[in-house]
Amino acid sequence: MFCRSSPLEKRNLKVGLPTVSGTLVWDDGVHKTRIFNSGGSSSLLHSYRRSFNGFVAKLTNDDAHKLTNVEGIVSVFPNKMKQLHTTRSWDFMGFSKNVTRTNLESNIIIGMLDTGIWPESESFNDEGFGPPPKKWKGICQVSSNFTCNNKIIGARYYKADKNFHPPDIQSPRDSEGHGSHTSSIAAGAFVHKASLSGLASGLARGGVPSARIAVYKICWATGCSDADILAAFDDAIADGVDVISLSVGGSFAIDYFKDSIAIGAFHSMKNGILTSNSAGNSGPQLASITNVSPWSLSVAASTIDRKFFTEVKLGNGEIYKGTSINTVELKRNLYPFIYGGDAPNTKKGYDSSESRYCSGDSLDKALVKGKIVLCDSVDSGEGPSAAGAVGAIMQYYLDSAFNFPLPVSCLGSEDGTDVSTYLNTTRKPKAKILKSIEEKDEQAPYVISFSSRGPNTITYDILKPDLTAPGVDILAAWSQGTTVTGYEGDNRIVPYNILSGTSMSCPHATAAAAYIKSFNPTWSPAAIKSALMTTAVPLSLETNTDAEFAFGSGHLVPSSALDPGLIYDAGEIDYVKFLCGQGYDKETVRLVTGDQSSCSNSINGTAWDLNYPSFALSATPGKSTRRVFHRTVTNVGSAVSIYRAMVKAPPGLEIEVRPNLLGFKAIGEMKSFIVKVKAKIDGNNITNMMLSGSLIWDDGLHQVRSPVVAFA
């Protein structure tokens, strides 16, 4: 159970030595409240004191309920587990290795909250690096099998419950691969001829290869706990990182101050640190995005112009093209071919209705060993692999390719039917799965199906995700403490791997933020976020039917974000006003901010008043809905400039901007304006419940674009 406490007063947690009568006392120097004394069933696990106040304790339900009524406690919530959400991507975005850079890039420190890192990877070689920046206050946690260098300047690991499971390594070393992958996307060094067994061969590099990496290992074989996430935020803020990258999320969006990531990101924002979050991998379902706090950057995943296909060759000579990443070249020309439904593991109680899916132990090893098996759905491949199959053909269309522990090809329904017909009409059917091939994807970029979609279920009138970035078929560094898939039976140990997920798009945005920060070290998190959002390019609605719910402001363009022209800035007080408008009472707001802030007429704002770089309006179907948005922009482009408002709106959406001209005479000058939006969405047309428009401030040199979206 995690408890957040007030930063207003110096309150101390006094805990005695572990005894049968475990006791925790809340002491503010005036009053003492006995929180629990329940026969040792409750105990303190961790307290946060560096950047914000709070503690983690094992509590009974009664003790937890008692805590909610203790003065100075902001929130009490269970310590839940979150899950992890991957070199051509930088070139695809027009961000070449020769892009303009500043010498200050080596002073930028990226805090990676993930599964750790594999320090021996060439992506983390510190050749040419000087000592860590003087601002760095972190440590390299002592471990017998881990050493930092001038690239990886700090590393810590967290496990509040002390329960380790294979293949966990009790150090910052990465035993999963995920953290090494995300770290190298963000800040990996130049590595020539990198590939996954010859696939995606080329130059591997991070977005800011000269930046430093600080590692905070929060994720293990069982997931990533809230307690460990908050402990890492607490340390990262105090250690002096410039940007935080977190490719982790829950199953669904929850209240801001019951969400460890939103809480940590709020405190990092207070300290001038932007948190970049993955949107989640629960798409294409609407309202599936999990990281939605307005003070953090939420990143969706889109494709690059590279796709992997895996061909299937049948005994009759026909060849079918499916999706997967297969590095294995099978030696024989053809192999016996069997349907999973014809090979149930009856000894363990399975029948054909289960074995047809090839999951778990459902397949009979005696019937499957040495053969290729046809499965009626996509699975991890562990079932066929454990049964001794040499490969599997899975009947399910995937728009992205994934690794499996054995050769696999995933076929669409039409091709799958043809293959099934061949299997059922041939006396001795045979097949072979070939090594994957790489082809150009002419339709890229588009948001991939698994990327979580909006709307933002916590605050409908804040558009999420914020933007999209490459997150499909990304080659990056990998841990050699695991295999390509990490599944039993997979013995492929590789230095680089190809992954897909919003976990991979997130560090692309992280690196872009770090790049902007290296040129503008005094910019606030909101300013950096604004630069990324207003220079993003909207995607085609033909290939992105969920529109802004899929891609937010658009596709990330890091080089354009360096010169945004205008920025929508915001600070802690702006978010406090927003929280007041969301219904948080003054006591909660004070406890959150650490000062005497109070919700009042002057400190109370709606979501439409938050100085956000996008505009969202939740409407009632069949009725006209009106909103007035108040915004202020700061000039960071040409000192003397005049911006004209350019509005695009489809039928049913009306957008009015006052004034429609903004004149600036100096850098840093601010101008305010209002946007009046009127929307009427046809309640009888459930397929068109969203209207997409835009506002662009144009001075002839800069186009500062914001999406204007109405939905029901």
Residues noted as catalytic: 114, 178, 503
Q: Which residues contact 648 (CB under 8 A, 6 or more apart)?
A: 693, 694, 696
Q: What gap in Å lies between CA 286 and CA 459, rounded to an integer? A: 15
362 — phi, psi (to 5°)? Answer: -75, -15
Read off the amino acid at residue 78.
Answer: P
Yes or no: say if 189 and 123 are a contact pair by the CB < 8 Å rule: yes
Q: What gap in Å lies between CA 612 and CA 462, rounded to an integer? A: 8
Yes or no: say if 516 and 219 are a contact pair by the CB < 8 Å rule: no
Q: CA torsion angle for 301, 304, 307, 308 (degrees, to 10)?
A: -70
Yes or no: say if 610 and 575 are a contact pair by the CB < 8 Å rule: yes
Q: Which residues contact 632 (CB under 8 A, 6 or more apart)?
A: 568, 569, 611, 670, 671, 672, 673
**Strands 690-698 and 703-711, how do they pair?**
antiparallel
Q: Which tokens go with 105?
A: 């890039």
Yes or no: say if 453 and 284 are a contact pair by the CB < 8 Å rule: yes
**Strands 32-37 and 43-48, how do they pair?**
unpaired
3-state secondary structure of 450: coil
Yes or no: say if 676 and 583 are a contact pair by the CB < 8 Å rule: no
**Range list of β-strands (E), 19-68:** 23-27, 32-37, 43-48, 54-58
Identify the CA nearest to 393 among candidates 438, 345, 358, 351. Answer: 358
Residue 403 is given by DSSP the state B
**Strands 372-375 and 391-395, how do they pair?**
parallel
Q: Which tokens go with 376?
A: 């009626």
User: Among all chains, which residue has been given the structure tokens 């969706």?
Assistant: 300
Provide DSSP, 524-564.
-HHHHHHHHHHTPBPPPTTT-TTTHHHHTT-B--HHHHT--
Task: Encode 164-217 in three state secondary structure.
Answer: CCCCCCCCCECCCCHHHHHHHHHHCCCEEEEEECCEEEEEECCCCCCCEEEEEE
User: What number of CA atoms fall less than 13 Å from residue 385's CA on the CB side?
Assistant: 17
Q: What gap in Å lies between CA 314 and CA 423, rounded to an integer? A: 9
Provide DSSP, 62-81.
HHHHHHTTSTTEEEEE---E
Q: What gap in Å lies between CA 420 and CA 376, rounded to an integer? A: 10
Q: What gap in Å lies between CA 545 and CA 108, rounded to an integer? A: 38
